[in-house]
Structure 1
Amino acid sequence: MAVAVVAALMLAACSVTPPPPIVGTVPPVPSAPAAKPGEIVVGVDSIAGGYNPHVLADQSTITTALSTMLLPSVFRTAPDGSPQLDRTLMVSADVTNTAPYTVTYRLRGDAAWSDGAPIAAEDFLYLREQMRDEPGGVDSAGYRQITDIKAEESGKVVQVTFAASYPGWRSLFSSLLPAHLLKDAPGGWEQVLESSFPATAGPFSIKQVDAARGEIVLERNERYWEQPAVADRVILRRADQAGLTDALRTGHDQLVVARTDAGGVAMLQALGERVTVKSAPRPTVISLFLKPSGTDLADERVRTALVNLLDRDEVIKVGTGGGPSLRADALVLAPSQAGYAPTGAPLHDQAAAQSLLTQAGYSLTSGIWTREGRPLAVTLGAPVDKEPYLLVAKEVQRQLVAAGVQVKLITPAADQLMRVSGTDAGPDILIAPRPVGDNPAAVMASVYGCPTSTNDASTVLPGNVMGFCDRSLQPTIDAALNASMPLTEAIEKVEPRLWRQAVAVPLFQSADSVAARAELTTGDLTAPLNAPFASAVSWQRKQN
């Protein structure tokens, strides 16, 4: 009997299978070796593409990092938020004529892409054409002011003519792209920088993008014509919050730039004096957009009711997880921008929502709002591959369903979602970024302006992400764009109307936790729009 018991136990031990994996978690990244001399490792929460800084679908910390370190820009945002001519690329950029309004750009003769091709007028022309013609652009309104681009002196002098006075021209032509490689690339604009960079023109170049390992390796660009980067290489390495904190503690990482919740912030701060922890706002405001069309949402009363059904405080709490962020209560300016002030915010008013839905012909039957026997149903869209958009969307869905609205949540890839938003195929409600730029008038025109026509009357350029157009607001938006009306005055006229029409609800401006070890010398870690990567060329790690 004793032998039989032992045999049974041995058999049981041999047949035990490991527990099933936990569904929904990110696979752990294998432990990485400590950074080598001349190497700086930056811990991030994601390296997921695409990496096109000019489209809303690709807005992320990793996109900002790569575009800042790899791509050339005519102007860059200074620490005080003002545009500053980048003399690593430019000789000059000036308004040289007022009728027609013309800006002349003179590029350095030695500025070239990493494959040896010169940075030239064709790169300006390519970017303008894509931003004008393709939907989902970050600053499409500014590029649509351009009527002509001419090249001189082998493309190193570029003359750009505008339809009218355009004081915001300094916000254009940042993160230029290599037109000679991309203009005929398979997949077109949709696939630009989807997984890597075919050529770069900054202090660093791409050595490797390893999605499986969660790593992007950048090396000093030996073909860079300006002062070379101090570091031999910069590695962007993905990990979860615990992994980021541990890598910083052990010195495997020298810097962390990542989205964190309250627990992640606490872990970083617990590292003590060895690490400096700050927060840096991202150039996006997480927002809720309502498409003013379709069977239900074409009625302003229904849109307003849906907004009033939402507990916005709870949505923001879920979306931020208590981590660094800035609550947003304005439709044009972001909380991190000069001149920002709350302009209004929807109330969580269930009684008002019920009254509005009743006025619109709906009745609450068995806990469901219906009209003529049909339930009030909406489609809610959020990108599956981006956070915190999906978290926000699920909370919005939960609240609306609890209030008696049927909600179908769709989660395609970000680029697919942004391409159909504003069309009949797009969702009724969209969780998406509102860009934050150094030209707020262009942001207002891009996000809330009507579609524009070209010289060909049959061609209409893409509109904003929600397909919204109020022709009575357009003259004010245009006046702010050409500076014939001060931005503050335009905002005072436009925002109250936008709030009443319930086409957009700002939630919060995303922010990253930025934590640096004491041995890393950096520039300003919280500079606006591109922190902390703007100073990467001078990053240096002191050796112990």
Structure 2
Amino acid sequence: MKPQRPTRRVRSRRTFAAVVSVGLSLSVAACAARPGPPPVVDPGAHAAPPPPQVQHVNQQRSITIGIDSLRNGFNPHLIADDDAFTQALARLVLPSAFVDGVLNKDLLNGATEVPAAAGAAMTVRYIINPAAQWSDGTPITGTDFAYLAQQLANQPGVEDSAGYRAISNIRTSNGGKTVDVDFDTPIKDWTPLFSNILPSHLVRVLDVPFDQVLGDTIPASGNLYMVKGVDRARGLVTLARNDRYWGPNPAKIELLTFKTIRSTAEGSEMLRSGQLAAADLTPDQTSKESYSLVPGTQVIDYQHPARLDLDFSVTSPLLSSVDLRRAVASLIDIPTVARLASGRTSDLTPAQPWPGLPTPPPQTEQDQTPTEQAGENPTAPNADPAAQSVENLKNATTNRQLVVAADASDDVAVAAALTIADVLQAAGVQAQPLLTSPAAISAGVSTGTIDAVVSWHRAGTNPVILASQFQCDHFTVDDARAHADGAGGRPVVLDTPAGAQPSQTPTGSADPAVTLLPEGDVETPTTTRRTLGGWCDPDTDAFVSQMLAGTVDIAQGRQHLAELSGKQALSVPLLEQQRLFLVGSTILGPAPELTQWPLLLPAGPLASAGSWTKTQDTPNRNTAPTPDEKQPKP
């Protein structure tokens, strides 16, 4: 029976909000019919100039785009929320300092290294476009930069914490439009930082932890589109063009409706009848062939930079021994798990095992499974060490089952966890799958009740992402609260006059609004960890610091950390994510041929939707609209 998906994300962590002191208040007039909350601006901030008037030249149109089922929230910084659609949504709605490694000139007038402030290893100055504003009229300022930095430096379960943990101070001037970021360790490639900036004036006041601030929607936009509505029951997310967008190239299509496609047959029929303009989907066994047969449709498959892994908790009562972790790995046939988890044999890329990671021996008899061979005669004379380790694993699970957890909202991870538990049981290892929420998984790993987790990881495409997956950082909730209450930490200083030295908020500040960054590593039984595996090693920390500083290049870093993962059996790679992207004849995109479209990873080709136009030739409907699809009239 398919497990019931949780309907509400569990509140598990406390949000630490970035705060600025306000020296004077300004009132910003809202142009919308239903204005949002009063703008929160930095001291001395000037209201953004009125946005340019957008001409609607026969472009008030809408299209429907097919997507996978909605899983968790829409926070692109959380591992639990990170998927292709969340990244594409963020790319269309949230502003970033750099896009594909290129300065975002709509948001920033400049970003460059400047002479380091006293005590800092380096300082980067960002100059925000005076016209940049959120869709409710609030200016985008250094407050938004500081909020993002504090949350990603302090919260567990985030994708890209390493670069933000290197930040010691953030100072603003010129009404919050000049932002100086001080680093206490050097970061050679700092361009990935401050991507998908969040509207701090709206999210920091929510009475929910950081992993829930974008759980239902994205409350304001600083990009081409804004979220108009989310209907999870019907699998719909609607974006409307952000008419407050100040850039020279506003979105061309008025409304984008993203709809969950539950089967290839449904998607093909909607595409054939003109109800579907494009789709970005996880393929099934026949989807590529089926969609390719629809007249006028172009289809490509591409590899998304995400990998499904089985992560071992190195502090688990059962798997703290590297020998027992290697024993579990030796029972898992990666191609078999990949096939059963994805439910297909086509468009399938099983992951490659880490160098040195044990794998099941090859099958020698047609009627014998790899797991049966791995556990065969472990006590026989001259039995190999791997067989003995499997026997030790069986003994270790006699009184306590090995718990393999997965996010219940992720069908592929659920199928993998169930398969792995079955494989272990077949080999004589007592194992139990646990299908629950990401928050419950994080808590269970921290308390030692969960031994392994099946989850997706972003491929290490840049040093910040890769370092974040291995950097040692343990802290307890009590420790973080003590720092937040003024017991110590690093302040974020805002609104420093131009040219002045960075001031320091006194340790133990009496201001109840001041939130300080926790410092130091604290390891206790109640530790909350940023990484599910919990690997913490000084040598590894030193290595990833060198990689961040640029003294070790990314290729060397990948190889070294892959070898470490194999030697210490930190995880078992299972499945590389393959995706299918298709467009019908009604869409004019970046190039005539779909094969020439930029992939724009990790967001995928959907990220270019702001530049799409709709042709006049719409296929004739030969079927009635589906109940869920009530398209707005052009």
RMSD (Å) for aligned C-alpha atoms: 2.6
One-letter identity of the residue aligned with 1:122 = T
Gaps of 5+ in 2: 6-58, 362-370, 379-383, 476-488, 491-517, 523-527, 591-596, 618-634
In 2 relative to 1, CA 489–229 (structure 1 residues): closer, same or farther, beyond 3 Å? closer
Q: Are positions 1:347 and 2:359 aligned together?
A: yes
Q: What's the offset of the Cα at 1:510?
A: 1.2
Question: In the alignment, which residue of structure 2 is the partner of 1:522?
Answer: 589
Q: What's the offset of the Cα at 1:327?
A: 3.6
Tell me, yes or no, if the aligned pair for 1:150 and 1:160 is still in contact at 8 Å.
yes
C-alpha distance in structure 2 between counterparts of 1:387 and 1:329, whole Å: 22
Question: In the alignment, which residue of structure 2 is the partner of 1:75?
Answer: 98
Q: What's the offset of the Cα at 1:483?
A: 1.1
Question: In the alignment, which residue of structure 2 is the partner of 1:511?
Answer: 578
| 1:401 aligned to which of 418, 425, 430 | 425
Structure having the larger proportion of residues in helix = 1
Question: In the alignment, which residue of structure 1 is the partner of 2:115?
Answer: 97
Matches within 5 A, 1:460-539: 460=522, 462-523=529-590, 524=597, 526-539=599-612
Matches within 5 A, 1:89-128: 89-98=107-116, 100-128=121-149
In 2 relative to 1, CA 347–358 (structure 1 residues): closer, same or farther, beyond 3 Å? closer
Quote the sequence identity (%).
26
Q: Does the residue aligned with 2:557 lie in a helix, a strand or coil?
A: helix
Tell me, yes or no, if the aligned pair for 2:315 and 2:448 is still in contact at 8 Å.
no
Question: In the alignment, which residue of structure 2 is the partner of 1:130?
Answer: 151
In 2 relative to 1, CA 327–88 (structure 1 residues): closer, same or farther, beyond 3 Å? farther
Matches within 5 A, 1:61-72: 61-72=84-95
One-letter identity of the residue aligned with 1:436 = A
Q: Does the residue aligned with 1:294 lie in a helix, a strand or coil?
A: coil
C-alpha distance in structure 1 between counterparts of 2:520 and 2:99, whole Å: 37
Question: In the alignment, which residue of structure 2 is the partner of 1:336?
Answer: none
Q: Does the residue aligned with 2:414 lie in a helix, a strand or coil?
A: helix
C-alpha distance in structure 1 between counterparts of 2:576 and 2:387, whole Å: 34
Tell me, yes or no, if the aligned pair for 1:47 and 1:216 is still in contact at 8 Å.
no
Tell me, yes or no, if the aligned pair for 2:135 and 2:220 is still in contact at 8 Å.
yes
One-letter identity of the residue aligned with 2:298 = T
Q: What's the offset of the Cα at 1:442?
A: 2.0
C-alpha distance in structure 1 between counterparts of 2:568 and 2:163, whole Å: 25
Tell me, yes or no, if the aligned pair for 2:223 and 2:245 is still in contact at 8 Å.
yes
In 2 relative to 1, CA 426–276 (structure 1 residues): closer, same or farther, beyond 3 Å? farther
Q: Does the residue aligned with 1:170 lie in a helix, a strand or coil?
A: coil
Superimposed CA distance per residue, residues 35-55 of structure 1 (whole angstroms, 9 cap, x where no aligned partner): x97111101121343000000
Q: Does the residue aligned with 2:308 lie in a helix, a strand or coil?
A: strand
Q: What's the offset of the Cα at 1:235?
A: 0.6
Q: Are positions 1:299 and 2:321 aligned together?
A: yes
Q: Does the residue aligned with 1:169 lie in a helix, a strand or coil?
A: coil
Question: In the alignment, which residue of structure 2 is the partner of 1:541?
Answer: 614
| 2:251 aligned to which of 217, 229, 234 | 229
Structure having the larger proportion of residues in strand = 1
Q: What's the offset of the Cα at 1:266?
A: 2.3
Q: Are positions 1:244 and 2:267 aligned together?
A: yes
Matches within 5 A, 1:16-165: 38-77=61-100, 83-98=101-116, 100-165=121-186
Superimposed CA distance per residue, residues 232-258 of structure 1 (whole angstroms, 9 cap, x where no aligned partner): 111101121221111111110010111
Superimposed CA distance per residue, residues 496-515 of structure 1 (whole angstroms, 9 cap, x where no aligned partner): 23201111122222122101
Bigger shift: residues 449-458 or 521-530: 449-458
One-letter identity of the residue aligned with 2:553 = P
C-alpha distance in structure 2 between counterparts of 1:467 and 1:105, whole Å: 34
Q: Does the residue aligned with 1:410 lie in a helix, a strand or coil?
A: strand
Question: In the alignment, which residue of structure 1 is the partner of 2:285?
Answer: 262
One-letter identity of the residue aligned with 1:156 = K
Question: In the alignment, which residue of structure 1 is the partner of 2:443?
Answer: 420
Question: In the alignment, which residue of structure 2 is the partner of 1:340?
Answer: none
Q: Are positions 1:288 and 2:310 aligned together?
A: yes
What is the count of residue pairs matched by the alignment? 490
Tell me, yes or no, if the aligned pair for 2:316 and 2:445 is still in contact at 8 Å.
no
Question: In the alignment, which residue of structure 2 is the partner of 1:13?
Answer: none
Tell me, yes or no, if the aligned pair for 1:102 and 1:162 is still in contact at 8 Å.
yes
C-alpha distance in structure 2 between counterparts of 1:103 and 1:67, whole Å: 24
C-alpha distance in structure 2 between counterparts of 1:294 and 1:38, whole Å: 54
Q: Are positions 1:429 and 2:452 aligned together?
A: yes
Question: In the alignment, which residue of structure 1 is the partner of 2:227?
Answer: 206
Q: What's the offset of the Cα at 1:375?
A: 4.7
| 1:275 aligned to which of 297, 300, 306 | 297
Tell me, yes or no, if the aligned pair for 2:71 and 2:81 is still in contact at 8 Å.
no
In 2 relative to 1, CA 60–121 (structure 1 residues): closer, same or farther, beyond 3 Å? same
In 2 relative to 1, CA 171–160 (structure 1 residues): closer, same or farther, beyond 3 Å? same
One-letter identity of the residue aligned with 2:310 = L
Question: In the alignment, which residue of structure 1 is the partner of 2:466?
Answer: 444
Q: What's the offset of the Cα at 1:210?
A: 1.4
One-letter identity of the residue aligned with 2:405 = G
Q: What's the offset of the Cα at 1:405?
A: 1.1
Q: Does the residue aligned with 1:129 lie in a helix, a strand or coil?
A: helix
Q: Does the residue aligned with 2:469 lie in a helix, a strand or coil?
A: helix
C-alpha distance in structure 1 between counterparts of 2:539 and 2:439, whole Å: 31
C-alpha distance in structure 2 between counterparts of 1:394 and 1:401, whole Å: 11
